[in-house]
Amino acid sequence: MNWWTIDETHDPARKSWVESADGHRDFPVQNLAFGVFSMAETPGTRIGVAIGDRILDLGALAAARLIPLNLTEICSDASMARLLAIPAQDRRALRHALSDLLCDEARRPVIEPMLHPVEACMLHLPTRIGDYTDFYVGIHHANNIGRQFRPDNPLLPNYKHVPIGYHGRASSIRPSGVPVVRPTGQRKPPEADAPIFAPTARLDYELEMGVWIGSGNDLGEPVPITDAAQHIAGFCLLNDWSARDVQGWEYQPLGPFLSKNFHSTISPWVVTPEALAPFRAAQPPRPEGDPQPLPYLSDADDQAHGALGVMLQVHLTTQAMRKAGLPPHRLSHGPATNMYWTVNQMVAHHASNGCNLTPGDLLGTGTISAPEREGFGSLMELSQGGKSPLTLASGETRTFLEDGDEISITATAAADGFVSIGFGECRARILPAR
Amino acid sequence: MNWWTIDETHDPARKSWVESADGHRDFPVQNLAFGVFSMAETPGTRIGVAIGDRILDLGALAAARLIPLNLTEICSDASMARLLAIPAQDRRALRHALSDLLCDEARRPVIEPMLHPVEACMLHLPTRIGDYTDFYVGIHHANNIGRQFRPDNPLLPNYKHVPIGYHGRASSIRPSGVPVVRPTGQRKPPEADAPIFAPTARLDYELEMGVWIGSGNDLGEPVPITDAAQHIAGFCLLNDWSARDVQGWEYQPLGPFLSKNFHSTISPWVVTPEALAPFRAAQPPRPEGDPQPLPYLSDADDQAHGALGVMLQVHLTTQAMRKAGLPPHRLSHGPATNMYWTVNQMVAHHASNGCNLTPGDLLGTGTISAPEREGFGSLMELSQGGKSPLTLASGETRTFLEDGDEISITATAAADGFVSIGFGECRARILPAR
């Protein structure tokens, strides 16, 4: 069994007796993503499994002793702190049990009362996030942004050798739906002699994927690239909101700080490595002349299966569009294979100095962009640093986000011969500055 | 009552019946620092109070109902997560109760059994650290380091306007005494065409102070500078170990990452704002021509009392020195007033964009250095980037740290008419790379 092994749970012929799961964009029975939810009528939070437009209460299932017995206690927790850390083989056993229960019509009378309509549930963060690290593996983003600052030299010399990353703020990560207050910050308008302290005028989104760390490593003990996948518990979508004017003024020499840490939004569902197994792809070969990764980042299996066959898209809905009943405007769409480094390389690099990853850490990929405009992953790229306003379907224009704007990120993992799956939504609306 | 108010607990005439407290370098009864400790013979961790060479078991005191009743439960916790977050008035009440109990000879028979020799205890982190942010407020460090990279322009244009900071790694912070494994990392020797992956050859320490966040703020709600002190629960010493060669190769454009996150060491005792009240000092006036802080960072009280009258020092002991029985070699000493921004300004800036600070967050000041060599806060400065080896008292030389070297940071808060207090020790030894 490998992290890319396909088994009967991926069989496209499998259908759940939960009718809404059949053909569901995100949550057919081939997905079985985990999340933490609450309901108005009962206290506390519980772990649930997404199935169609329903959430299956994992705690109730555990209480009924319908899952592998060694996981009963962990599945009854109020958060996924412990569930994230279980070994892949246990997660796989749980997946098989869930798949069987949700496909076997005979189980329906027992299981159906444990299902809740997703509209009646509130989704929370899967766990308290330990440390949050954001990488920069979207090479086209690095190129597009770098070109604005260093036209002759967009990519710095280290980029193709080091999976560049930095530490972000864990406390301000929120699940989809929580509004974002426009941050106030220090910034220096180009024409001004001195900085001002004012609401950001260049509020942007960044299209990313998130990686949940499952089992950790001890401080001082690196994770070999061949073991990296064993430390990954799942994936989500991530919007790394950014105040570009604050960023431009503050980021030297230690990197982005207040321009990024006021809020980050994630999709609340943890899509497991097992669910994504059919959508694993070979890492695209490096362009001629690029250096090969150093040995601690090299693994043939990772090269053969480490990329993610996931198509990402971003939609914008403005206040005026909502009022007029217009559909969201698609800002961009592009594949996650536009990553120069794989998630396994991110993990192995992060721990290569002995830094201890811990269960519930979150890694961001960094903005996933594309060489061509339709795949640009931020307004900074789409509007060329604010110089070229976009015209929306509503006739409005945008360089950066305005109050009332709502950004939604969605994604689909698809492969020939398999039922495609999604991640749920990563969505939030901008509130005016306080 | 203000955060700089002096009261009878600071009276130099106060003496504890714990004999070792009288004249103790760090922990006379005027200090009363909190820590989390364990003992071999009993399970679990408990909160303790440092008094001379003893630790007073706060849980035992709470069980005996000898502290303010509203704090009984919190003081019985296994960590300081909740104790850090109590309001200053409650912390002050607890301080008064502890001071009275430890000074009143009549209480000795009851309290003495709750004291443990510090040698018999293990000290732990006060709590699980939420987010760790490292600032860069040591202007002389910024100058000294900046000069090595940009001789004509050592300080970047934002430095005197923005309290520069960045997010660090919380999971790899360890209390004093835990050895540091020399990290391996990617670095590019100046003469090489390509980077190598090898143990760091430029392992350094950084002399810093740490600030524990007590009560937090809600996401989206800034902390006014006038309220900043209310969010600070205490202070410690911090060594931000750094791999300079890794740092030089990886840090652009997003800042230091693996060069810093392999290990940070803190002194385990939380020295409260109340204990430090007598040692508050006016923030040194900004040099002629420097910009004044923007209004969100300006507060007359903070200017009058926001600096810390603390003298810091760093000692190095090599393996050879230990074998020969030589005393530690003092590398540097200098005052914490060499900070360009106060800790209140750090807090207000951090939350100015609505970023939510949470109880148990740790802020580092960044390296506190001095204009003159005797106060340089890192080997990078002392050895001029490795160009000028130091000669130690043992006759050995150092540019950067070697395996077996041990760095110890200590500090003394002193002011005329008051009993000086300390922070305990922030110490760790270098182990060879794995």
Which residues of B are less than 8 Å from A185 in CB distance?
352-353
- With a CB cutoff of 8 Å and minimum separation 6, the contacts of A236 are A209, A210, A212, A266, A267, A268, A269, A270, A271, A423, A426
Q: Mean of the pLDDT values across residues B236-260?
A: 97
| pLDDT one-digit tens code per residue, B154-201 | 899 999 999 999 999 999 999 999 999 999 999 999 889 999 999 999
pLDDT of residue A342: 98
pLDDT of residue B148: 87
Q: Do A254 and B165 touch (CB under 8 A)?
A: yes
A292 DSSP assignment = P
Q: Are A61 and A67 in contact (CB under 8 A)?
A: yes
Which residues of B are less than 8 Å from A265 in CB distance?
none
Which residues of A are less than 8 Å from B131 in CB distance?
169-171
Q: Do B249 and A162 touch (CB under 8 A)?
A: yes
Q: Which of B161, B188, B256 sits opposite A186 (nearest CB)?
A: B161
**Closest alpha carbon within chain B to A146:** B253
| pLDDT one-digit tens code per residue, A361-381 | 999 999 999 999 999 999 999
**Closest alpha carbon within chain B to A366:** B254
Q: Do A355 and B261 touch (CB under 8 A)?
A: yes
pLDDT of residue A9: 98
Q: Which residues of chain A have pLDDT under 50?
A: none
Instruction: Name the CATH superfamily housing domain B8-124.
Output: Fumarylacetoacetase, N-terminal domain (2.30.30.230)
| pLDDT one-digit tens code per residue, B180-191 | 999 999 999 988
Q: What is the DSSP string of A190-243?
A: TT-SS-EEEE-S-EE--EEEEEEE-S---TT----GGGGGGGEEEEEEEE--EE
Structure-model confidence comparison of residues A151 and B108, the more confident one = B108
Give the annotated binding-site residues of A: 134, 136, 150, 206, 208, 240, 247, 251, 260, 264, 367
**Of B306, B275, B282, B207, residue with least CA distance to B422:** B275
Average pLDDT score, chain A: 97
Which residues of A are less than 8 Å from B219 in CB distance?
171-172, 174, 181, 262-263
Cα distance from B219 to chain A (closest Cα, Å)? 7
Biggest CA–CA distance in chain A, Å, is 74
Residue B141 is among the residues annotated as catalytic for this protein? yes
| pLDDT one-digit tens code per residue, B256-308 | 999 999 999 999 999 999 999 999 999 999 999 999 999 999 999 999 999 99
Check pLDDT > 90 for residue B150: no
Biggest CA–CA distance in chain B, Å, is 74
Among A254, A260, A264, A363, most B C-beta atoms within 10 A, so best to mutate, is A254
pLDDT of residue B1: 82
Q: Do B197 and A296 touch (CB under 8 A)?
A: yes
Phi, psi for residue A176 in degrees, rounded to 5 = -45, 140
| pLDDT one-digit tens code per residue, B356-393 | 999 999 999 999 999 999 999 999 999 999 999 999 99
Q: Which residues, numbered 144 to 183 in chain A, qualify as contacts with chain B under a Cβ-Cβ cut-off of 8 Å?
A: 146, 156, 158, 161-162, 164-172, 174, 181, 183
CA A344, A345, A349 angle in degrees (round to 5)? Answer: 120
**Residue B300 buriedness (CB in 10 A; 0-12 / 13-18 / 19+):** exposed
Q: What is the four-CA torsion angle of A355, A356, A359, A364, rounded to 10 degrees?
A: 0
Phi, psi for residue B91 in degrees, rounded to 5 = -65, -35
Type of residue numbered B218: D
- Residue ranges per domain, chain A? 8-124, 132-431
Q: Do A184 and B353 touch (CB under 8 A)?
A: yes
pLDDT of residue A149: 77
B132-431 to CATH, choices 3.40.190.10, 3.90.580.10, 3.40.50.2000, 3.90.850.10: 3.90.850.10
Q: Is the confidence metric ipTM above 0.95 for this complex? A: yes
Cα distance from A38 to chain B (closest Cα, Å)? 21
Q: How confident is the model at residue B153 (pLDDT cuts 50, 70, 90)?
A: confident
B253 touches chain A (CB under 8 A): yes
A429 touches chain B (CB under 8 A): no
